[in-house]
Amino acid sequence: MADETRRNRILLVDDDREIIESMRYALESKDYEVLIARDGNQGLAMAEREDPDLVILDMMMPKRSGFLVLERLRRSRPIPTRVIMVTANEGSRHKAYAEMLGVDDYIRKPFGMDRLLSSVDRLLGRDDGDE
């Protein structure tokens, strides 16, 4: 790679260690830099400090829900950070609320990693197919 631009940084905010590890592995295999937060407060602090290109946010977490994190990110940033919300929740009301708050994508658990990676690539403008 002759191109020396920095890798896209993705912040994973989820309290489930297994899900974090599988997402981290999949994203790192695509050459994304991955940051990890294990609850909503930590996720918000890291998003403000690290300025990631994308946040993958669980809806239900200790200390601060994904909705509250998303709402705060949307209010506090002049250029909105891309956000994918992941959830085990089946309710369409939650999806509608996330969309009202400006989520970029909403993925229900369990999901295939290819579904997540295609959304990440699309939101970060890496739709160049096979790399």
How confident is the model at residue 90, as a pLDDT?
82
How confident is the model at residue 78, as a pLDDT?
79
Q: List, for residues 52-88, the tens digit of each pLDDT value.
A: 999 999 999 989 999 999 999 998 887 889 999 999 8
DSSP symbol at 102 = T
Is 0.95 topped by the overall pTM? Answer: no
How confident is the model at residue 127, as a pLDDT?
66
| CATH 3.40.50.2300 for domain 9-123 | yes
Mean pLDDT of 87-102: 91
Nearest to 44 by CA among 77, 74, 69: 69
* pLDDT at position 112 over 50: yes
Ordered DSSP codes for 106-128: EEESS--HHHHHHHHHHHTT---
How far apart are alpha carbons 2 and 63 in whole angstroms?
A: 43
Q: Where are the chain's structural domains?
A: 9-123
Q: List, for residues 2-55, the tens digit of each pLDDT value.
A: 445 679 999 999 999 999 999 999 999 999 999 999 999 999 999 999 999 999
